[in-house]
Structure 1
Amino acid sequence: MIIASGALRRLAALGLLTLAACAPAGDQPAAPAAPAAPVAQTPATPAVAPTPPPAAKPEMPTLVVDTFTHGKFDLATQRGHWVVVNFWATWCTPCLKEIPDLDAFDLERDDVSVIGLAYEEIERADMEAFLEEHVIHYPIAVLDVYNPPADFDTPRGLPMTYLIAPDGKVAKKFLGPITSQEITRAMDEYGKVLPAST
């Protein structure tokens, strides 16, 4: 490729101008550095306190809710037998699949009670219509999603189930769908860690 000498001179001049623009103005020596200004000490504690970890949930949770078909449900009155606290929703397919098994488990076992806590925004009439279409014998309550029961974790996914032991303590927390066999295994495991009665 041949570049005309005029074009080559213009290119060289442009390059020199670019370099000149980047060079410091004049050949003046740099001024001596001024003494550093005093720096304020950083406080030992940050200005904004870190967010504290969430408070631990109580060993024996409380739960008092109004249900659609069984009146008021109070977890404290259930001492002496197992309670399955199932967080669910009408739109949750895995929740709907586990309901028949939980319902049969509740009916078959005298030492077990199940309560369903619908964790969703739903009108009372819509829940009543749902309960007319689906056979559920255990009590169902609708929770306020903005003010869920404080003694239980806020569901981050559904279903979520707690197994409460006869002593009122949380025996196990399940995330995701469960079966009555899994609940029975958890009951057996919890029984193995209980101190022997004297």
Structure 2
Amino acid sequence: MRLIVIMVTLMSLSACAEKPISLQLLPSGSHAMTNDTGEYTVLNYWAIWCAPCRREIPELNEFDHLSADVTVVGVNWDRDDADTTLEYMERMGIEFPVTDGDPLQQLAIIRPEILPTTFVFDANGRLVATLVGEQDGQSIRAAIESAEHSGT
């Protein structure tokens, strides 16, 4: 009887374990927020009307292309439909994937009030840095290195 109670308890605990978070992307596909490779996720909130957002896009494109240990993912702050978001991505020259919808509830983050805002998540899907304002590869890399050195 004791063995049955232990097995039922273990089964219920495993059922309660958090599911891995996967972001749906545009134009297609998904991105897992947790991984075994040590890859960080840089989640950047932007809007078409935001001048600093438009200025930082080339930096984010380059950082995404050059950083094997990081994936940059955008979020359309205005929550436009997929077709409009894809149009804005083209107009802004966004080369990294953008989420299909706003993942803030999925990620348990607060919607940014200032744009651009960039969230940095470690390979375990934990938020390790929030960067407000225009960013470049150097500032994002510094946030990642700070997180690695602090053990978060």
Runs of 4+ aligned residues of structure 1 deviating over 3 Å after TM superposition are 62-65
1:59-78 matches, cutoff 5 A: 63-77=21-35
Unmatched segments (≥5 aa) in structure 1: 1-59
C-alpha offsets along residues 25-51 of structure 1, whole Å, 9 cap, x if unaligned?
xxxxxxxxxxxxxxxxxxxxxxxxxxx
Q: Which has the larger radius of gyration?
A: 1
| Residue 69 of structure 2 is aligned to residue 103 of structure 1 | no
| Residue 150 of structure 2 is aligned to residue 189 of structure 1 | no
Distance 2:80 2:71 in 1: 24
Higher helix share: 2
**Structure 1 residue 79: Cα displacement:** 5.8
**Structure 1 residue 89: Cα displacement:** 1.2
Go from structure 1 to structure 2 and tell me whether the alpha carbon gap of 1:103 and 1:70 turns closer, same or farther (over 3 Å shift). Answer: farther
**Structure 1 residue 78: Cα displacement:** 7.3
Unmatched segments (≥5 aa) in structure 2: 1-17
**Structure 1 residue 111: Cα displacement:** 0.5
Identity of aligned residues (%): 25
TM-score (norm 1): 0.58
Query: What RMSD in Å do the two structures reach over aligned CA positions?
Result: 2.5
Letter paired with 2:78:
E
Higher strand share: 2
* Map of 1:89 onto structure 2: 47
**Structure 1 residue 88: Cα displacement:** 1.3
Go from structure 1 to structure 2 and tell me whether the alpha carbon gap of 1:99 and 1:188 turns closer, same or farther (over 3 Å shift). Answer: same
Structure ranking higher on relative contact order (CA contacts 8 Å, 6+ apart)? 2
Count the aligned residue pairs: 133
Letter paired with 2:66:
E
TM-score (norm 2): 0.74
Distance 2:83 2:28 in 1: 17
Distance 1:70 1:87 in 2: 19
